[in-house]
Amino acid sequence: MKFTLVIHSAPYQSASADTALRFARALLASGHELYRVFFYRDGVHNASALASPPRDEQSVPLAWQLLAQEHQLDLVVCISAAVRRGVLDENEAKRYEKPAANLAPGFELSGLGQLSEALIQSDRVITFGGRG
């Protein structure tokens, strides 16, 4: 079965991003395909290279990066939500005349079209951290 995950929560805002990460690991271990992970709203903070949790806590952004490397995952960050929250790649940093980029390697900025395409291509879409 082909899954897409949509993450709405920042990595340390609630347990949602960590739960999504554990779910992703479990579905990959079960032989399912993870078509795309889409970070939206405050979930874009999962893609920040500047997150620095205490040493005794898991770095959720780093864990996403490692999982993506191991399984060649598509980690897509909503560009409008990211720019609004200060998560920028090199192009957006230049465009908005900011001194630096902070998008972690392995993540890519893109639009909602990537989410729409993932909805079409996937058998199941699971959302973590959605607002009620």
**Cβ neighbourhood burial of 103 (10 Å; 0-12, 13-18, 19+):** buried
Q: Is 43 a catalytic residue?
A: no
Catalytic residue among 78, 79, 81, 118: 78
Q: Which amino acid is at 82?
A: A
Residues shown for the chain: 132
48-to-10, 68, 107, 122 alpha-carbon distances in Å: 10, 15, 9, 26
Q: In whole angstroms, what is the distance from residue 10 CA to residue 17 CA?
A: 7
Q: Which residues are the active-site residues?
A: 78
